[in-house]
Structure 1
Amino acid sequence: MNESSYYSAMINDIDTILFDLDGTLLPLDQDRFAQGYFELFAKQSGLLGYDVKAMAKSLQAGLLAMMNNDGSMTNKERFDSVFTSVTGYDAQEMNERFLPFYEGMFESLVEYAAPTPLARTIVDTLASKGYRLVLATNPLFPRVGTLTRMRWANLFEDDFACVTTYEDFSYSKPNLGYYREIVDRLDLDPSHCLMVGNDVGEDMVVLEMGMKAYLVTDCLINPHNIPLSHFRHGSLKAFATEILS
């Protein structure tokens, strides 16, 4: 199959395209970003007068709880419950006091990203062709933190039919429940959906529910070294060049 046929087959009968953000539309060194995020969170905790060790422990425990969430409550509710259990602090008060963090100090983490104009080009072109677009980023961040990272990629909430954040979703990747929430919320047919992401474990799992998938290899995450031949794959530039022609 030549390249044109390869990409034509991928988008045949597709009406909705789901995009991961970090490492996909926003090239990112995820390990350094995560380390920087934990360090800034601890710094802000100290500035606000919280016990830094307790806050760091609560962040780790809260993230793990969200990653294992079972759909019985939103990821935010799950995080807040664990946060209060670990620290004894009031979660609502903490969230309010941390809001300026995501509008200020969090911005410095852009140094671990390498924004590309391809993101804007891809979104604009696909929208003009009538595709429904979803920003299917793992819903572990508050909306404000997600919108900030989107802005680094020159993307905005109005570009998408849905942006997944921890306030609104009750599962996380790679749980298929997360993708089913998107499908149910937007009344989608999985067989008419394409997921574009850089994480073999978290994004390619959609194949199990009948979606198509494209693996972006620029910031590839593949800890189990699964052969890439199992997936349609290539760089974001290759995706842009072929899918948008």
Structure 2
Amino acid sequence: MEYQAILFDLDGTLLPMDQEVFVKAYFGLLVKKVAPLGYDPEKLVDSIWKGTYAMIQNDGSCINYDRFWEVFESIYGQEKLQDRLVFDSFYENEFQQAKQACGFSSWAKKIVDLCLDRGPCILATNPIFPQVATHSRIRWAGLDPDDFEFITTYENSMTCKPNPQYYREITGRLGLDPARCLMIGNDVAEDMIAKTLGMDTFLVTDCLINSKNEDLSGYRRGTLQELYGWLMD
């Protein structure tokens, strides 16, 4: 079928990775960056997780950026919000070293290029990162942010996966019919939930995440190479 748009997850889909390995590298770099400002490493990591959880629970009443920093302020106080400039600097600089914790697949660019010939592509990555960090990870995958008509980040989104409202937010914003869109991702809970809106889906199995051990027989699925073959049919 012809799609109005094709949505892609990033981490573990277009950008191969072991999520635990990546998160460990990411937090290690962040702690090293901000430790001179007096942050206790264990408390900082716990605070980042609390802010992330708050974004995942966001009900659409504010952007994820505000939700995260509300939690940060509640833990460290308003005066620590001035350190946002240091965090911004981290994502522009030291965060780039986290690329070493990721893999690479030449199929990612082949697939996106193939889809771009057919219509708009959307990067539907969970919007818990700043734009600069998301654009960096896109480039690590051998792609360009300009490949995508829209990219979800914590500055422009008010919901997160696995909330189905996340997909409604995207399609509503872009005037798309969910039933005429395809969602491609590697996480059964976060990405395949798009089926509840009537979206077509493809579950990428190279870096599969199936935290609830769901039966996968009901999902169209395969490796990135197999996805390319299916798109070519």
In structure 2, the partner of 1:202 is 190
- Percent of pairs identical after alignment? 45
In structure 2, the partner of 1:5 is none
Deviation, structure 1 residue 51? 4.1
CA distance 1:234–1:29, change in 2 (3 Å): same
Deviation, structure 1 residue 89? 4.5
Correspondences of 1:1-245 after superposition (within 5 Å):
12-90=1-79, 92-129=81-118, 131-244=119-232
CA RMSD of aligned residues (A): 1.4
1:186, 1:84 → 2: CA distance?
Answer: 33
Deviation, structure 1 residue 57? 2.9
- Corresponding residue SS for 2:39: coil
Deviation, structure 1 residue 54? 3.9
Contact 1:122 1:244 in 2 (8 A): no
Per the normalisation by structure 1, the TM-score is 0.90
Deviation, structure 1 residue 157? 1.7
- Corresponding residue SS for 1:134: strand
Structure 2 gaps of 5+ residues are none
Deviation, structure 1 residue 122? 1.2
Task: Note the alpha carbon deviations across 1:197-228, whole angstroms, 9 max, x for none.
Answer: 00000000011111010000010000221121
Deviation, structure 1 residue 139? 0.2
- Corresponding residue SS for 1:230: coil
- When structure 1 is superposed on structure 2, of 144-153 and 48-57 the one drifting more is 48-57
1:56, 1:184 → 2: CA distance?
Answer: 34
Contact 2:99 2:140 in 1 (8 A): yes
Per the normalisation by structure 2, the TM-score is 0.95
- When structure 1 is superposed on structure 2, of 56-65 and 197-206 the one drifting more is 56-65
- Corresponding residue SS for 1:174: coil
- When structure 1 is superposed on structure 2, of 214-223 and 43-52 the one drifting more is 43-52
2:92, 2:154 → 1: CA distance?
Answer: 17
Task: Note the alpha carbon deviations across 1:143-178, whole angstroms, 9 max, x for none.
Answer: 011111111012222111100000010111000111
- Corresponding residue SS for 1:229: coil
- When structure 1 is superposed on structure 2, of 44-53 and 154-163 the one drifting more is 44-53
Contact 2:3 2:181 in 1 (8 A): yes
- Corresponding residue SS for 1:28: coil
1:24, 1:179 → 2: CA distance?
Answer: 17
Deviation, structure 1 residue 91? 5.8
Contact 1:55 1:87 in 2 (8 A): no
Deviation, structure 1 residue 120? 1.1
Contact 1:58 1:87 in 2 (8 A): no
Deviation, structure 1 residue 96? 1.3
Structure 1 gaps of 5+ residues are 1-11
2:185, 2:42 → 1: CA distance?
Answer: 34
2:148 maps to a residue whose letter is F
Deviation, structure 1 residue 230? 1.1
CA distance 1:43–1:177, change in 2 (3 Å): same
Deviation, structure 1 residue 241? 2.2
1:175, 1:78 → 2: CA distance?
Answer: 16
